[in-house]
Amino acid sequence: MPEPRILHSGIIDVNFGENVTIVQPVNLYGCTIGEQSFIGPFVEIQRGVVIGERCKIQSHTFICELVTLGDDCFISHGAMFINDTFASGAPAGGDKTRWRTTTLGNRVSIGTNATILPVTICDNVVIGAGAVVTKSIEIPGIYAGNPARLIRKL
């Protein structure tokens, strides 16, 4: 009977600021976590991701390569970040030249089960639970829906 290939989650090659809290199990590798940030259980943060200071990343969140979060961001349970838009009609796979970046400003809150495609989000934005952000956001406010739309300016 063949043996499966078993991979283990863990914390590998991470740059931590002061007073970071992590609740295991997590899968963090090749990323940067800013001072006083919190990472909940069952979170994966991939290579090259930068998390600002005083951020809170709740459980079951996936933050893929090419994502940068500003300071004082809140990412709720089950939020998903995507860097491959399937622009050619299929997954880019290992062709990272087809992946795109995502940048969140300061004081951005992402609701439970929201999906963030490759976009830029300005400072002082709230993304509602279950929202799908498909376009960059340049006006501070509250956004909700699929696709996410401005509900109210802040």
Those residues with Cβ within 8 angstroms of residue 134's Cβ, 6 or more apart along the chain or in another chain: 117, 119, 147, 148
Give the pLDDT of residue 119: 98
CATH number reported for the structural domain that contains residue 128 in this entry: 2.160.10.10
Tens-place pLDDT, residues 50-79:
999 999 999 999 999 999 999 999 999 999
Q: For 111-131, what is the mean pLDDT?
A: 98
**How many structural domains compose the chain?**
1
Q: Considering the entire predicted model, what is its pTM?
A: 0.94
Q: Which of 137, 109, 115, 106 is nearest to 34 (CA)?
A: 106
What is the domain extent for residue 101?
11-153
Average of per-residue pLDDT values in the chain:
96
5 is a domain residue: no
Q: For 114-141, what is the mean pLDDT?
A: 98
